[in-house]
Amino acid sequence: MPGLVGRFARTVMAGRRGRLVRWYSGGGGDDDGGGSTEDAQARELIDRQLKLAPAGGHQVLIVQPYIKWGANKDRNTRPEIKADESRSLVRTLAEWSVTDTLLVGLTSYRKHTFFGPGNVDAIALRVARDRRITAVFVSVNVLKPIQHQHLEHRFGVPVYDRYLMVVQIFRRHAITREAKLQVALAELPYIWSRIRGVQDGYAERLGTEAGQIALSGKLGYDDKKDLLKSYEKKLKKLVEKLRSHRQHLRHNRTNKDLPVVAVVGYTNAGKTSLVRALTGDVGLVPKDCLFATLDVTVHGGVLPSNMTVLYVDTIGFISDIPTRLIEPFIATLEDAMFADVIVHVRDMSHPNVIVQKAHVEETLKNLSINPELLNGVIDVGNKVDRLDNVEPDGSSVFISCTTGEGLEELKKKIESQIMKATGRRTIKIRVRTGRDEYEWLRTHTAIVNINTDGDYSVMEVIVTQSDLDVFKSLFIRKKISS
């Protein structure tokens, strides 16, 4: 067993220099760390990337613990459902596979060992007998350093908790520089909780930039702490700069007066599929995996009235998201706070759909979203094609992105909610065909219908109050004054 640990440690300490710095920074420029000795030293630590798995990935034994009874028992979710999500997390990493899943019932979680000695022995024996197993995933939020150290020593293979698993997925699915920085920043609190353990020879198995600071054997604890503080300050500065840029882009969208619809929901509920169906954007390719979307993306669509809207596709929720990953998770939902309408997509075929709905609603409430926006959330039940029967509940729109069922009804509901939320209204105006008033309305409003009669056209348009005031100022008051 110790030999396995030694080989793993040597494997993960290998890696190309500079890869991680380029991963989050995009390479080059003053923002990448400047030229100070301290920055160079920090980058040297970061460059020694840990390899979480060999090139072929890991073959994972999933251990799904649960409290069997008492006040801490989870009465909302069965352990079998949690185990299904744990398997989905592992399979999201393309090179990884699941060898088996163990459900382990406990009366409590042990402070130093997490499991009791009997369970630890049983799991260790399972790993020893099955040579396929190269890692163990204990599906809890975060293992304490002492627990992590104990289990890796006993099992003889790398041990992952949900934090380590999710942060790996985040890193693989982060495309934009902002998302990569948010993930890098989210890694730091985890490392802060670990660096004290390094003094006792504890080698953390985190495949992240921040992990290099905790793992370096060249520096003492105080030096690592100082470098980590400096690195964290630099990341926060970069994130703030990109956040300001994002606010600028959001401001530009507002100035263009295009309604914004934020699409939220659990990961794999069909958010990207819905945005594709509503916009006709064939470039959007939904993926059947968790966290297929990490970066916020914006896509234009047209409603039945010909009104153009912007759909914002956000990161998906998961149950029991590790606390230290909340920051980048919430950051991706910022666009929902500034949308005109929120669409909450649910997978109606999921056995935990009711609990998931409550989780999303509770999270949105905690985002300090405008109460009117929160009260106007459109609830969408997706994947009804997978069910034999769905009973209408009077408040949800049931759809299937696969068959197209319910999409037209949803578009009409979105349109109605936008009209209410933004103060838009439908009016008819008679203008000379092809003249300035005609062309202005075609450019600045959504054209519902045009009836032409000789030199004149009756234009039915959707208009904001501000655009209507501009129209009156340019054409009606101008004519009166002349």
Say if CB 51 and CB 240 are below 8 A apart: no
Establish whether 336 is an annotated binding residue: no
Establish whether 383 is an annotated binding residue: yes
Type of residue found at 231: Y
Establish whether 401 is an annotated binding residue: yes
Say if CB 266 and CB 353 are below 8 A apart: no
Token pair of 391 as six digits: 């009973």
| Sign of the Cα pseudo-torsion (54, 55, 61, 62, in order) | positive
Establish whether 266 is an annotated binding residue: yes
Establish whether 269 is an annotated binding residue: yes
User: Tokens 């440690």 sit at which residue?
Assistant: 9
CA dist 309 → 58, 169, 304 (Å): 43, 31, 11
Say if CB 339 and CB 373 are below 8 A apart: yes
Does residue 454 come out as left (phi exceeding 0), alpha (psi in the -120 to 50 range) or beta?
left
Establish whether 107 is an annotated binding residue: no
Establish whether 294 is an annotated binding residue: yes
Other C-beta atoms closer than 10 Å to the C-beta of 482 total: 5
Establish whether 291 is an annotated binding residue: yes
Token pair of 413 as six digits: 């509901």
Looking at residue 317, what DSSP letter applies?
Answer: B
User: Tokens 């945005």 sit at which residue?
Assistant: 275
Establish whether 382 is an annotated binding residue: yes
Establish whether 302 is an annotated binding residue: no
Establish whether 332 is an annotated binding residue: no
Helix (H, G, I), strand (E, B) or coil at 308: strand
CA angle 457/459/465 to nearest 5° reads 140
Establish whether 293 is an annotated binding residue: yes
CA angle 378/380/382 to nearest 5° reads 165
Establish whether 402 is an annotated binding residue: yes
Largest CA distance in the chain: 94
61 Cβ contact list (under 8 Å, min separation 6): 98, 99, 100, 101, 102, 123, 126, 127, 130, 133, 135, 136, 137
d(CA 393, CA 387): 15
CA–chain centroid gap for 290, Å, is 9
Type of residue found at 422: T
Establish whether 479 is an annotated binding residue: no
Establish whether 40 is an annotated binding residue: no
Establish whether 26 is an annotated binding residue: no
Establish whether 57 is an annotated binding residue: no
Type of residue found at 25: S
Helix (H, G, I), strand (E, B) or coil at 321: coil
Kind and range of the H or E element at 468?
Answer: helix 465-471
Binding-site residues for GTP sit at 265-272, 291-295, 313-316, 382-385, 400-402
Binding-site residues sit at 265-272, 291-295, 313-316, 382-385, 400-402
Binding-site residues for Mg(2+) sit at 272, 293
